[in-house]
Structure 1
């Protein structure tokens, strides 16, 4: 099995994969010996990959190597099975590139658009020839609620409606402040995503669209385009990158 360690802005996700499929997962606020040791206990793990958006990947890899000797740290210099056209590859979020690899692996030879709903909202394009073409970065759902609260004098800190709330709870004008804030943030983000999808689908016929990230559940059922919702896209991409670097596919 492979061990995947994905250290995001707000939490750490661990996965064990076999044959490209996740067989076990867990998450926590931080990577520590107790979390990692409990997760891999009794498992035969052959290799691992560590990806971090916090800048602590090397330190995390040291801990991982006490359990799995063969550990790859995902850095800007790590070979991936895509051509990267990003002009500033060292500033490119590892999670964005990993999600792109995951989506391209699931839809080979197709134009792919990936919307990742996390702390930030990212929308990235991979073309049919296997080129990562960059994309768009905007505040995520909860970041927008925090911004309204922290940068105004009296607006409260709100949370989104339930994912299965009736569409009218989004599209009708709010008659109270918190209601208006929820509908403003949710509808604003919905219309933003619909705009990206409409524009890109017009340019790329047969475009495959993936939604991933913790807050994708609020939008997946409200978008008219045919989409694939895959919460494990980053994990799948990291597993593919690990296998690519351990195989003869990688010319380096």
Structure 2
């Protein structure tokens, strides 16, 4: 799949700073080795104790404060941040590029490495759930930002704290016949069917495309929908590496 392995060495460390976690990765034997951390200090510890001499640290970030904290922890290392300035304006059909999370673009770019002649839709089911489209020429056309599953499951904790907590499952029977199954339909079912509706909108507007899923809840989403697409947790890193 990858066309960048000849350029990437284990001494290159890749860092993806998301809304709720920091992912650290490097290539070994043509595969990504990844770990996820909640704090800059923990991520920096891995980088500072990397099993190979670190020559370059390549980063993308949607959290400026976390990026600054990480840079302070590994100040002696050479770091390079991928930003929208590294992306040609001709590949963005987006009215407010200054507000675009770079990870959204990179995920689509990573997906197109696997489907280079096809348009792609990427569902990133993380803290926020994004559903983005990139055409067959590599132009990012925008997408959808909606709450992630964990956000959906937290919605009643403040407003209706007496309601029970639920497992992230869709009941076999509709409608729900207990408070738990009613909540599962109203939260998990609502979330999944919202995503499916957005996929239908893309089909109506653009026609066929290749569908990819990434992010922490991608496996769960693919399971409950009956394998709606290809799950790949490393699309952002693939996109980053392709720009090196």
Distance (whole Å) between structure 2 residues aligned to residue 226 and residue 120 of structure 1: 19
Question: 1:186 is matched with which residue: 182, 185, 188?
Answer: 188
Question: 1:99 is matched with which residue: 86, 107, 112?
Answer: 107
What stretches of structure 1 of length at least 5 have no aligned partner? 162-166, 244-252
Distance (whole Å) between structure 1 residues aligned to residue 241 and residue 210 of structure 2: 21
Contact 1:9–1:53 (CA under 8 A) maintained in structure 2: yes
Contact 1:122–1:136 (CA under 8 A) maintained in structure 2: yes
Q: CA deviation at 1:187?
A: 1.2
Counterpart position of 2:26: 16
Counterpart position of 1:55: 64
Q: Does 1:90 align with 2:98?
A: yes
Superposition pairs of residues 200-215 of structure 1, within 5 angstroms: 200-215=202-217
Distance (whole Å) between structure 2 residues aligned to residue 143 and residue 213 of structure 1: 14
Counterpart position of 1:46: 55
> Deviation digits for residues 139-185 of structure 1, max 9, x if unmatched?
11110111122233533444413xxxxx6x25533233233212321
TM-score, with structure 1 as normaliser: 0.81
What stretches of structure 2 of length at least 5 have no aligned partner? 1-9
Q: Find the residue that maps to 1:135 and give its secondary structure.
A: strand
Question: 1:147 is matched with which residue: 141, 151, 155?
Answer: 155
Distance (whole Å) between structure 1 residues aligned to residue 237 and residue 156 of structure 2: 32
Contact 1:111–1:126 (CA under 8 A) maintained in structure 2: yes
Distance (whole Å) between structure 2 residues aligned to residue 17 and residue 31 of structure 1: 21
Superposition pairs of residues 91-130 of structure 1, within 5 angstroms: 91-130=99-138
Once structures 1 and 2 are overlaid, which stretch shifts more, 213-222 or 149-158? 149-158
Q: 1:208 to 1:184 in 2, by over 3 A?
A: same
Contact 1:141–1:186 (CA under 8 A) maintained in structure 2: yes
Contact 1:114–1:210 (CA under 8 A) maintained in structure 2: yes
Counterpart position of 1:240: 242
> Deviation digits for residues 209-234 of structure 1, max 9, x if unmatched?
01111111222134367511111112
TM-score, with structure 2 as normaliser: 0.83
Counterpart position of 1:249: none
Counterpart position of 1:25: 34
Q: Find the residue that maps to 1:219 and give its secondary structure.
A: helix
Distance (whole Å) between structure 1 residues aligned to residue 203 and residue 103 of structure 2: 23
Q: Does 1:7 align with 2:9?
A: no
